């Protein structure tokens, strides 16, 4: 069931029931505006990845700032955004299984839908539903996940799409997921330079055979400046830039655009009985730890261990020791799966709750 809201509009932060996921509105708004400024006038379309926030209200704000629509990873996730009025949704993933394909086809009656493929049988299965859906061939540009190899295998699959009765071949999807968290700017740039060259040669091959690639899409928060300025991609898909997290903050940015931390888990000290440590009420069920534990905000504090309902925070400076009942902000290690743990985002400005937003696509895994 949907959990009760952790606060009311107008509450102070001290009144928020923890653990809660809070969004600092000033930072969020600056992040949205900054990305809009960076992409505006470039001729490259911004299609933010909604798997980062899963929130229709945030998607609406991104579209209002110039985004053409959103990306989703799952059909059920896409359904939440179509239901919320987002008119252009790209499922940047393969959709396999009759039930999910049937749902995708139904969504195509209500919004502009596009989807990835990397298999000819999958193309034929989607075509059988008789809906006009834009299809992009996913190309493996360096992340060992989905996608066909560049060159001739991409050409062969694009021909299958182009020859289908109802589907439209729209272009290529070349997302290099592993490049997003390479720590140095030079490493990320080199990875995207290689990916771009593979896509460039593949596009030339397709166009030689009269297959026009209308869309070349990809990119993420860690690499988008390279796709944006590379002269090949005409659509980018950064998602985490609106929130950021501990793992992205470990990247070196140098002269790359840096975005602000706007997302925090708000926790409360539930035990201060032992010297040198305190226990907060935010453990494994409050913050994803696949990219490491959250970071406690404040000098002299270090979040070191999570169990189901408890987080162990070392107090490295006695002067920084919080008291029983004090609140603490935690920067999640990985924002996307952390958001998926919550029903509500508590939007705050200063120390007041300004809005409460549903995490509309929470648990949308199919």
Domain spans in the chain, listed from the N-terminal domain onward: 13-22+259-358, 42-242
Q: What is the pLDDT of residues 178-205, one digit of tens each?
A: 999 999 999 999 999 999 999 999 999 9
DSSP 172-213: EE---GGGGG-SSHHHHHHHHHHHHHHHHHHHHHHHHTT---
Q: What is the pLDDT of residues 41-86, one digit of tens each?
A: 999 999 999 999 999 999 999 999 999 999 999 999 999 999 999 9
Q: What is the pLDDT of residues 253-289, one digit of tens each?
A: 887 889 999 999 999 999 999 999 999 999 999 999 9
Cα(20)–Cα(341) distance, integer angstroms: 10
Quickly state the pLDDT bin for 225 (edges 50, 70, 90): very high
Fold that domain 13-22+259-358 belongs to in CATH? Lyase, Ornithine Decarboxylase; Chain A, domain 1 (2.40.37)
Q: Chain centroid to CA 364: how far? A: 14
Cα(318)–Cα(7) distance, integer angstroms: 31
The residue length of the chain stands at: 366
Look up the CATH number of domain 42-242. 3.20.20.10
Residue among 152, 137, 36 nearest 92 (CA): 137
Mean pLDDT over 126-139 rounds to: 97
């Amino acid at each position: 069931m949907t959990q009760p809201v952790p606060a009311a509009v107008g509450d102070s932060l001290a009144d928020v029931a923890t653990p809660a996921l809070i969004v600092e509105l000033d930072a969020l708004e600056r992040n949205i505006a900054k990305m809009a400024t960076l992409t505006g006038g470039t001729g490259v379309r911004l299609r933010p990845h909604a798997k980062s926030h899963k929130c229709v209200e945030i998607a609406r704000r991104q579209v209002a700032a110039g985004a053409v629509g959103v990306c989703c990873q799952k059909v059920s996730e896409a359904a939440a955004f179509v239901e919320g009025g987002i008119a252009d949704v790209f499922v940047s993933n393969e959709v396999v299984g009759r039930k999910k394909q049937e749902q995708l086809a139904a969504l195509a009656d209500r919004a502009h839908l596009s989807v990835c493929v990397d298999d000819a049988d999958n193309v034929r299965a989607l075509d059988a539903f008789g809906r006009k859906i834009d299809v992009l061939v996913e190309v493996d540009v360096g992340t060992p996940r989905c996608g066909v190899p560049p060159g001739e295998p991409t050409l062969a699959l694009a021909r299958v799409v182009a020859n289908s009765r109802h589907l439209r071949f729209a272009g290529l999807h070349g997302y290099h997921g592993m490049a997003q968290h390479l720590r140095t700017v030079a490493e990320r740039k080199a990875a995207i330079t290689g990916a771009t060259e593979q896509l460039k040669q593949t596009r030339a091959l397709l166009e030689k055979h009269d297959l026009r690639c209308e869309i070349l899409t990809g990119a993420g928060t860690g690499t988008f400046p390279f796709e944006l300025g590379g002269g090949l991609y005409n659509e980018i898909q950064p998602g985490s830039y609106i929130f950021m997290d501990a793992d992205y903050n470990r990247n070196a940015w140098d002269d790359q655009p840096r975005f602000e931390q706007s997302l925090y888990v708000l926790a409360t000290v539930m035990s201060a009985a032992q010297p040198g440590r305190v226990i907060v009420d935010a453990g494994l069920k409050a913050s994803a730890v696949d990219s490491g534990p959250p970071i406690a905000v404040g000098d002299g504090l270090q979040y070191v261990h999570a169990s189901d309902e408890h987080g162990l925070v070392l107090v490295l400076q006695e002067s920084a020791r919080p008291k029983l009942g004090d609140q603490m902000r935690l920067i999640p290690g990985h924002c996307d799966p952390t958001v998926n743990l919550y029903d509500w985002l508590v939007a705050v400005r200063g120390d007041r709750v300004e809005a409460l937003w549903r995490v509309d696509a929470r648990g949308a895994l199919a």
